[in-house]
Structure 1
Amino acid sequence: MSEKKILFLDVDGTLIDYEAKLPLSAEKAVNMARENGHLVYICTGCSKAEILQRDFRTMQLDGMIGANGGYVEDNGEVLLHQSISLEDVRHIVDWCNQRHIGFYLEANSGMYINDYFLTDGPEAMAKYVLGKGKKIEDIEAFKSNSVNQYIHLPTEQLYRDDVNKVSFVLHSYQDHLDSIKEFPDLIANTWGGKDEQALFGDLGPKGITKRHAIEVLLNHLKMDASDAIAFGDAKIDLSMFECCGYNVAMGNGGKEIKEAADYITTDVNDDGLYNAFKYLKLI
């Protein structure tokens, strides 16, 4: 694979580990691949504000797909940005508050939380990290720090028109099922811990997928899907796999993503990305 390729990297569990740390080998692999003329984009459920909080050290990227496909950026140029309507955001905020559910609004400007997330969020985030096999030495300190990246606002300031996606803590799986009925014009997903246990629900605009975003970017760059390689670890990454010419699952990935992959590399913290790039002769 010496000809120019375009690489799409999921972030959590693929590029970085579940403690949001970038392995040195992954940083090296990305920089080397770009030096060899390949293009590298992250393709994540996170919004831009969340990505800007990550410590990517010296790693350079060509752009990003965020909000599970709702936002596409190429070298600083915004190609696509589809947000949830103010009316729908108001509906979601009120629905969650009525059910005493903690949520965060994901916008490019920041991540905004309600009162209930101050109690719901730390517990759910701890379950998420522990479920991915990580050890938390001081659980109370972890919970206390887990909300530092969010901006707590009163309800009237949560009615916003710049929201890409909303994630909310599931008190039970029924909350997700009820959200499907309550918001028929939005797409409802779940995400979470071990074996993708449903810890959070999320809501976003219909028609928005990682696949659609990749197609928008490929069309803009005038590149073919056969030159695209996707790297992922979770069920949400399957839509990437549907449109890329070659697909790599992480060793720490779930059953479904591994079954759909052309190649399974090692775990994210066992030089997974570097080993895959080496195998594919990208570096």
Structure 2
Amino acid sequence: MSKIIFLDVDGTLIDYQAKLPLSAEEAVNKARAHGHRVYICTGCSKAEIAMRDFRSMELDGMIGANGGYVEDHGKVVMHQALSKAEVKHIVDWCNARQIGFYLEANSGLYINDYYVKQGPEAMYKYVIGKGKTIDHPEAFKQDAVNDYTLLHGEDLYREDVNKVSFVLRSYQDHLDSIKEFPNLVANTWGGRDEQALFGDLGPKGITKEHAIHVLLDYLHEDASETIAFGDAKIDLSMFACCQYNVAMGNGGLEIKAAADYITDDVNHDGLYKAFEYLHLFD
């Protein structure tokens, strides 16, 4: 039977420096050549995915923004963005607290002045915390915001924002965001063992699990032939609805505990080894 495969991106399909292992590219292309369908299922918005170098790898579609956006073969199946009023509230709250943030939209990534100062250091900690070595830290930090667009004032009050990520100066910022935005979903993400380096805010009711159900309904399929791959706690909602679940060797303790199978690290051909183990090339 052909399978429907859902892949988290950072730490699963690509490494924490946004590099796609050749073996992962080969795994996806071989699986699709054998009749399986492959979708990425990520917290990233479409603009972030467009920045990734997937070389000649082909996909059947994507779930983005932690479930806020669903696409199949170029057709938008579902898109749930934040309202302009919600974005304004988040922008004003972050600016008042001098917190750097970036607005995640399908059209691009938009930052405030505080993110120019705080974002590069937080991203450096994120990559280092995931076990990568940065040979030239200052050059890495200088490049960290090259693909972002700096906006000021009311230009940040946008209507096309899927979710907002912001730098956590301490975990208290995340706790305060929960109180300030009770009608939104508040998450954290970050470094080793999911250390909280960033918070994010998105529409309530939007999860990877919900988006998978939306896509399966659109495809007129059920979950009986689905396989999910992930490395972090945010991927647990994928695991909740898929038939079989694979955790990456570089994943956190919670995702490994919920997995049916644990493969190798992303940079040690983990994806290819798992596809082979599951007979996706037969």
CA distance in 2, matches of 1:163, 1:88: 10
Q: TM-score, length-normalised on structure 2?
A: 0.99
Q: 1:92 aligns with which of 90, 93, 104?
A: 90
Aligned pairs (5 A) from 1:105-124 = 105-124=103-122
Q: CA deviation at 1:156?
A: 1.4
Counterpart for residue 185 of structure 1: 183
Counterpart for residue 55 of structure 2: 57
Residues 198-244 of structure 1, C-alpha deviations (whole Å, 9 max, x = no match): 00000000000000000000111111201110000000000000000
Structure 2 letter corresponding to 1:40: V
CA distance in 2, matches of 1:228, 1:216: 14
Structure 1 residues 219-228 or 13-22, which shifts more? 219-228
Q: Does 2:235 correspond to 1:237?
A: yes
Structure 2 letter corresponding to 1:174: Q
Aligned pairs (5 A) from 1:10-25 = 10-25=8-23
CA distance in 2, matches of 1:57, 1:16: 12
CA distance in 1, matches of 2:27, 2:169: 40
Q: Does 2:73 correspond to 1:68?
A: no
CA distance in 2, matches of 1:39, 1:267: 23
Counterpart for residue 165 of structure 1: 163
Residues 140-163 of structure 1, C-alpha deviations (whole Å, 9 max, x = no match): 100000001111111210000000
Counterpart for residue 82 of structure 1: 80
The runs of at least 4 consecutive aligned structure 1 residues that moved more than 2 Å come to: none
Q: TM-score, length-normalised on structure 1?
A: 0.99
Q: 2:280 aligns with which of 254, 258, 282?
A: 282
CA distance in 2, matches of 1:235, 1:163: 23
Aligned residues: 281
CA distance in 2, matches of 1:264, 1:155: 47
Residues 117-156 of structure 1, C-alpha deviations (whole Å, 9 max, x = no match): 0001000000000000001111110000000111111121
Alignment root-mean-square deviation, CA: 0.4
Structure 1 letter corresponding to 2:265: D
Q: 1:210 aligns with which of 199, 208, 211?
A: 208
Structure 2 letter corresponding to 1:85: S
Counterpart for residue 266 of structure 1: 264
Secondary structure of the corresponding residue to residue 116 of structure 1:
helix
In the alignment, structure 2 segments of 5+ residues that lack a partner are none
